[in-house]
Chains A and B, each alone.
Chain A
């Protein structure tokens, strides 16, 4: 299985952009990069996913390196409600595979 590496924790100030990095140097050509987040005492929620091109949605942007060995989840203006654990995931077995969660990055947002 391709593995991902994320920092254990990050801090941000409210209303500032946040860049959450993820390294996946063993990614294969067909692996999609998925991001989920988990608020305290809740189930994870889908944030975004992509293959090669940068992706945007209402929650965040995903910037994927040209060699696809790393990616960055961008929250354009952090709010207190964005404080959560963010998981970068490469589904096992390709795009149709199961989601296997690592420890993720715990994001703290300061007012």
Chain B
């Protein structure tokens, strides 16, 4: 099946620890995105990448880091510098930046304990 796989679905982290969220796609899409969603709110853009080995900061990049070494993969690291990391994290892809339709994964719910 073609699609986007985010793992794990639920993740618990202790304060002060870094954690990496996985996003893998087999849609052969060039553009990939990470969003954060807090309860009752819309999605906020963390980072995006239009091509392998290149990525840009979104609106709330502080405390997060990404890499794009392969077209299929765009992992997000939530570092200890992120003050309020508990949230729902969503990965998305588009065929290219100029295309309209974005495809979203099922999300990872991160909780800091």
Contact = CB atoms under 8 A, between A and B. Distances in A.
Interface stretch (A23-31, A72-80, A92-100): A92-100
A100 B101 CA distance: 13
B45 A42 contact: no
Contacts of B44: 101
Given A98-B33, A98-B58, A46 B102 contact: yes
B98 A101 contact: no
Interface residues of A, number: 20
Contacts of B41: 103
A21 interface: no
Interface stretch (B12-20, B61-69, B71-79, B104-112): B104-112
A64 B97 CA distance: 24
Contact of B104 (A43, A96, A102): A43
A43 B90 contact: yes
B43 interface: yes
Interface of A: 32, 34, 36, 41-46, 49, 87, 95-96, 98-104
16 contacts: A36-B102, A42-B104, A43-B92, A43-B107, A44-B90, A44-B104, A46-B101, A49-B100, A95-B98, A96-B97, A96-B98, A101-B35, A101-B43, A101-B44, A102-B42, A103-B41
